Structure 1
Amino acid sequence: MTIASLDLASLLCSRLCHDLLSPVGALTNGLELLAEERDPEMRQKCFELLEQSAASSANKLRFFRLAFGAAGGFGEMVPVAEARGLVDALVAANPRVTVQWAMPDDMLPKAAIKTLLNLALIGMEALVRGGVLDIAGEVRNGASELVIRATGPRIAFDPVVGQALAGTLAPADLSSRTAPAAMLHQLAEGLGGGFQVHVAAEALVLGAVLPVR
């Protein structure tokens, strides 16, 4: 699978805009309500809506800045705590999802952090009825090894995302939904690494091995 950089960047931008549309739209609605509302109690509720929407927008922007973008530059190590804070902030918006961490290392290579964030996002989206998101990873034998497991009463995983991770999705079939997985495939391929995907009725397991360079 060979994807032009411009096409992939465009689709990633589309994905970013899609995910930000809801909280930004809620901000607009909240401002319109606030301008018309005179009741003190209702105005307070409008302020709460604005605060929640602003926080959601900021959390998603910070997440995607590192997951899709070049935050911090290239090639350096990134604190695991930074990635954990970004994932925890997104999970906090969904009370039906719990995240559990097993990360013995304080730092991981930038490529591993970007992969972790994107795989965690795939795992979160698979838990349509809630559940548990387990995230584990370490650097061992010269490679970053990551495992993300989503377990819940119903797993929603689009096989096309798996094809994008494996590099078997035709460029013509790429969409904003599958662009992050296609980006991960190109990232892993450039490092000589790869992914494993296992899907069951109540579990999704995503694994990645990325040689450290």
Structure 2
Amino acid sequence: MTEVHDRPDLAALVGSRICHDLISPIGAIGNGVELMLMEGAAKGPEMALITESVGHANARIRFFRVAFGASGADQRIGRSEVLSVISDMTHGGRVQIDWESPADLPRRDVKLVFLLILCLESALPYGGQVQVDRNEARWALRATAPKMKVDESLWEGLINPAGLTDIGPAQVQFLLVPDEITRQHRRLTTELAATEIRLSF
């Protein structure tokens, strides 16, 4: 029987293809808006909305490219790029992310952390804080908020994915994390509380 880590990661390949095909036209729209503003286009609320929306779309695509895209065992990503993606994605949002890590990181590690951040976001519909730390041995993520919305069946599925039977598009990250954990030969630990979630691998 073929092991998960021996199979091509079809979901990641599809994710890479979609993000690759979308990031260029979204960037072009952003450049076009900048040119319009430089040439004296009206700076009203309509233009501000377009600028903000394009910036947010570009940030999410960059984040999704890492979270859902393919990542080879030898690929690296710099902390500065990670911080840029996170800063752009959370700008003006209700969830803030504090990232502490070495300067040079395995892209596969960051892919898994980004997927877990998406899981944490689902528990923070009212906003909150996510702390990401990398020590010498493990990654640790901690989400805190005065009020959380935790679907325990989804979180239990990170450890026992066979129990995840009714998943919608907004929860797909809960299906992808166990496969990625297996591919990387890691072990995920989870701790759930009323106002705090801790994850480590």
The bucket for the TM-score relative to the shorter chain is 0.7 to 0.9
Q: Percent identity?
A: 22
2:142 to 149, 156, 180: 149
Whole-angstrom distance in 2 between the partners of 1:88 and 1:124: 15
Tell me the CA shift for residue 90 of structure 1: 1.7
Tell me the CA shift for residue 148 of structure 1: 1.2
Aligned to 1:186: 179
Whole-angstrom distance in 2 between the partners of 1:44 and 1:149: 40
- Count of aligned positions: 176
Give the secondary structure class of the aligned counterpart of 2:180. Answer: helix
Whole-angstrom distance in 1 between the partners of 2:67 and 2:111: 5
Whole-angstrom distance in 1 between the partners of 2:136 and 2:75: 14
Tell me the CA shift for residue 9 of structure 1: 2.8
> Residues 182 and 122 of structure 1: is their aligned pair in 2 closer, same or farther, counting only changes over 3 Å?
same
Aligned to 2:83: 84
Are the equivalent residues in 2 in contact too, given 1:155–1:200 (CA < 8 A)?
Answer: no
Aligned to 2:133: 136
Aligned to 2:36: none
Which sections of structure 2, spanning at least 5 residues, go unmatched? Answer: 30-40
Cα distance per residue 1:82-120 (max 9 Å; x no partner): 2222222222131x43332322x1122222110111112
Whole-angstrom distance in 1 between the partners of 2:152 and 2:10: 19
Higher strand share: 1
Letter in 1 for 2:98: Q
Superposed CA RMSD in Å reads 3.3
- TM (norm. structure 1) is 0.69
Are the equivalent residues in 2 in contact too, given 1:163–1:169 (CA < 8 A)?
Answer: no
Tell me the CA shift for residue 176 of structure 1: 2.3
Aligned to 2:66: 66
Give the secondary structure class of the aligned counterpart of 2:112. Answer: helix
